[in-house]
Structure 1
Amino acid sequence: MKSIKFFLQYIFSPRKVGAVLPSSGFLADKMIESVEFHSARYIVEYGVGTGVFTDKIIQFRNPRTIVMLFESNKVFYQSLKERYKREANLIIINDSAENIDKYLEKYRIPYLDYVISGLPFASLPTEVSNVILNKTRKLLKDGGSFITFQYSLLKVSLFDQYFEHIDIQREYRNFPPAFVLSCQNNRISTQWKRCE
């Protein structure tokens, strides 16, 4: 059912959805493997879709951790509201991640430990990507991480403009195979660490 709903939304809005099928559990595991859930106080997810990454975040998070979800697609948003209605410390926003700063101010969230992103940066307008990445970089605490995935490395130079360290891993069991990029600004030496 999730796959059908996802595919229909892709047909209606291919640039915003960015993929024909939702991400796999294998990719979700890879996306969260570096998250220190016991100590994270604030986690944001961009482009939640059907909640594949969200399920993992909720499964492993500290119950006191505040999780904020951004989903601009109305159909996905309504589904998420119903699915997670009993979850405490979970805020679901029907808006673009471009407005992340407005919502952090509204809910008095002072910084972010992690941002986990399912946004299709390969198909987003450049100006939208730049706004999102610039605000994310500023809102992450020192040592915080922005974690995203891409189906190719063509956009790595975009993320390199905003983050000093990018750790790149490959998940072959996803369809199609994907690269997971964990990006930080913690003043360590600039490098790309590729783990195949």
Structure 2
Amino acid sequence: MKSFSFIFQYLLNPRKIGAVLPSSNYLAEKMVGSIDFHNAKYIVELGPGIGVFTDKIIENRNQHTVVMLIENNKEFCTLLKEEYKNEKNLIIINDSAEEIDKYTKDFNIPYIDYVVSGLPFASLPKSSSSAILIKTKKLLRKNVIFITFQYTLLKKGLIGHYFKQINIKREYRNIPLAYVFSCSN
């Protein structure tokens, strides 16, 4: 059901969804692999889609860790709210990731320990990508990580403009091949 919903939304909004198929479990493992779940108090996921990375975050997080999901697609947001309706310390927002600062303020989140992003920076307008990256960087605690994946290395320069260090890992067991960017200052 979730995969069908993902494919259907891709057909309706290919530039906003960014992929024909949901991310693989292998990619999800790589995306959350550098998160220190024991010490993380606030985790934000941008563009969670149908929740492939969210599942891993929820599965590994400390019970007191606050997780905020910001999803622009209304159908995906409805799916996420149903899927995680019994989860405590989970905030699900239906809005643009550009509003990350508004929602962290509204929900009294003083800083973010980790941001996990499923946003398709390659197909987002540069102004939107820049706004998201600027606001995210301001909210992240020092020496913590912004984690995103892309299907191409084309946006490495854009992301590198905001983060000094980018560690890139490939995930071959995803369709298509994906690059995981772990970014810090």
The TM-score bracket by the shorter chain reads: over 0.9
Cα distance in 2 for partners of 1:5, 1:105 equals: 31
Q: Please report the TM-score for the alignment, with normalisation by the length of structure 1.
A: 0.93
Match of residue 9 from structure 2 = 9
Cα distance in 1 for partners of 2:115, 2:5 equals: 25
Cα distance in 2 for partners of 1:2, 1:21 equals: 11
Q: Please report the TM-score for the alignment, with normalisation by the length of structure 2.
A: 0.99
| Structure 2: gaps (5+ residues) | none
Match of residue 140 from structure 2 = 140
Cα distance in 1 for partners of 2:51, 2:3 equals: 12
Runs of 4+ with deviation above 2 angstroms: none
How far apart are 1:4 and its partner, in Å? 1.3
The correspondence of residues 95-106 of structure 1 with structure 2, limited to 5 A, is 95-106=95-106
Letter of the aligned partner of 1:34 in structure 2? S
SS at the partner of 2:56?
Answer: helix
Letter of the aligned partner of 1:138 in structure 2? K
Cα distance in 1 for partners of 2:144, 2:34 equals: 11
How far apart are 1:68 and its partner, in Å? 0.1
Percent pairwise identity: 63
Cα distance in 2 for partners of 1:7, 1:33 equals: 26
Letter of the aligned partner of 2:31 in structure 1? M
The correspondence of residues 73-112 of structure 1 with structure 2, limited to 5 A, is 73-112=73-112
Letter of the aligned partner of 1:31 in structure 2? M
| Structure 1: gaps (5+ residues) | 186-196
Are 1:56 and 2:60 an aligned pair? no
Match of residue 34 from structure 1 = 34
Aligned CA-pair RMSD = 0.5
Match of residue 156 from structure 1 = 156
SS at the partner of 2:99?
Answer: helix
How far apart are 1:106 and its partner, in Å? 0.6
Match of residue 70 from structure 1 = 70
Are 1:168 and 2:162 an aligned pair? no
